[in-house]
Amino acid sequence: MRDNFNNHSSAFAHRSTKELKQLVRLFWLLSNPRISKIGVQLLKHFGHIQLPGLQHLQRWLFHPFYAGTSLQACESTVVSLSNSGVHSYLNYAVEDISTDSEFDTNCEMVQKLIVHASKTNDIPFSVCKPTSFGHKHLFQKINAKQSLNLEEQIAWKKVINRFRSCCQIAQEHGVALLVDAEEYSMQIATDQLVLDLMREFNLNKAVVYNTVQLYLVDGNHRLKQMHMQAIQQSFYLGVKLVRGAYMEKECKIAHKHGLSSPICTSKSETDMSFNAAVDYCIKHLTNIAVVLGSHNEESMIQAINLMDQYEIKRNDDRIWFSQLLGMSDYISFILANEGYNVVKFVPFGPMDKLIPYLARRAEENSAIAGQTTRELVQLQNELKRRTRLANER
C-alpha cells in the first residue's frame, strides 16, 4: 500500500492542472511556519470582516477546503468525489453560535442534510457538533458535576431534544450521524449524552457515532469503557477515531487553571494512542463500527494491515476511512481505488461563519510540517509528471 500511496496519477486524477497549481501555492504558504502563523492570526482577527477584496482572497485561499456557501453549491463536489469512488458527508460548518434560535436553525439544517443524504448513495453519514445544539457552558457544568439551575435544566432538555430528533430522522432515513468531539472540558458530558442516544438508536446497528480524540491521555480508557457499556447493555458502539484538533487551546486552558494538560506529552505518544485505538476497534468489529478520521499514512497502513490480518473485507460497512475535503486527497483516492470505504468531510456555509473551521485547518497544517510537506511533494511530483507528459506529446 505504501507504494500505492506514491502513485500520483490515480491520486490526483480528479484535479485539473490549474487546481493543482493553486494547491501547491497554498500548501507552500502553509508549510512556511512564519507566513502561516501570521495568516492564521489575521484570519482569526479580521476573517469575519466582509470586504470584497478580502472575501475574494479568502475564497481563493480556502477554495480547496470547503464546497461553497450553500447546499446546492456542494452538488458538484459530491459528484466529483463520487466519480472516483469517494463518498461525502456534508457539514454546515457554522461555529461560535449562542442563541436558542441559532441552535434550532442548526438542528433544522442537520435534519435537512440527513434527509438530503438519504436520497443518494454518495452520502452515507451526517455530522453535528455538540456546541451547534447547545451552549458550551451547559456541557461544562454537567462535566464538572455542577447542578444546573432551572433555566439551565430547560436549556439542557432542549439540547437533548435536538440530538434525539436528529437521531430519530437519521434512523428513519438509514443515514448514520457522527457527533464531533470538541474541548476536553465538555467531553464527559458529551460521552454520556451520546451513549444514551446509542442505547436508544443503536440496537440493530450503529446509527449514532461518538468521537474519541486520541491525543487525550484518557482516550483509550474512555473508548474501552464505552465499549464495555455497549456489550453489557447490548447496543452497537459507533465511534469516530481522531487524534484531536484543539491542542493549542487545551494547553492554554490547562496552563491558565494551573492544571496538567490532558493531552499526550509528545506526537509519538499520540500516534501510539491513536494506533492502539484503531487496533482495538478493528479487533472488536462484532459490536463496534468505526470511522478512522485521519490524514496519517502510517495509521492508514496499519489499519489496512489489520484488516488483512483479521480477514475483514475491504468494503465492510463497519469500517470507514475519512479525510477532510482538500486534505490528503491522495490517501482518500488511492484507498477508494483499492476498494476501501472512504468518506470525505465536506464543509459548506457562509465564508465568515467558516472562519473558526478554516483557521483550525490552517493551524493544523502549519503545525504538522511533516504532513504538509509530504502533501506538497506529492502535488509537485504530479505537476512535474503532467508537464513531462505534455512535453513528450
181 binds ligand FAD (CB under 6 A): yes
Asked if 212 and 277 touch (Cβ cutoff 8 Å), the reply is: yes
Helical ranges in the chain per DSSP H = 8-11, 17-31, 33-46, 52-62, 71-83, 100-118, 136-143, 150-173, 187-201, 219-232, 247-256, 267-283, 297-309, 329-337, 355-367, 369-392
Exactly one of 147, 266, 286, 391 binds ligand FAD (CB under 6 A); that residue is 266
Exactly one of 133, 340, 345, 357 binds ligand FAD (CB under 6 A); that residue is 345
The answer for residues whose C-beta is within 8 angstroms of residue 73's C-beta and 6 or more apart is 67, 348
Nearer to ligand FAD, 191 or 364 (CB): 364
Nearer to ligand FAD, 169 or 214 (CB): 214
Asked if 381 and 8 touch (Cβ cutoff 8 Å), the reply is: yes
293 binds ligand FAD (CB under 6 A): yes
The CB-of-23 to ligand FAD minimum distance in angstroms stands at 17
190 binds ligand FAD (CB under 6 A): no
Asked if 136 and 144 touch (Cβ cutoff 8 Å), the reply is: no
Indicate the pairing of strand 176-179 with strand 208-213.
parallel
CB atoms < 10 A from the CB of 217, how many? 17
Query: Which among 61, 24, 65 is positioned nearest to 376, based on CA atoms?
Result: 24
The CB-of-91 to ligand FAD minimum distance in angstroms stands at 9
Point out the residue whose Cβ comes nearest to ligand FAD. 293
Map the footprint of ligand FAD across residues 353-392, applying CB under 6 A.
364, 368, 371
Exactly one of 238, 244, 262, 347 binds ligand FAD (CB under 6 A); that residue is 244
Looking at this protein, which amino acid is placed at residue 96? D
The grid coordinates of residue 134 equal 447547545
323 binds ligand FAD (CB under 6 A): yes
300 binds ligand FAD (CB under 6 A): no
Exactly one of 131, 171, 294, 378 binds ligand FAD (CB under 6 A); that residue is 294
Compute the distance between CA of residue 294 and CA of residue 281 in angstroms, rounded to an integer.
Answer: 15
CB atoms < 10 A from the CB of 204, how many? 9
The CB-of-108 to ligand FAD minimum distance in angstroms stands at 21
The CB-of-141 to ligand FAD minimum distance in angstroms stands at 21
Nearer to ligand FAD, 110 or 247 (CB): 247
Number of residues that bind ligand FAD (CB under 6 A): 27
Looking at this protein, which amino acid is placed at residue 38? I
326 binds ligand FAD (CB under 6 A): no
Map the footprint of ligand FAD across residues 206-225, applying CB under 6 A.
211, 213, 215
Binding stretches for ligand FAD (CB under 6 A) = 180-181, 211, 213, 215, 242-247, 263-264, 266-267, 270, 293-296, 322-324, 345, 364, 368, 371
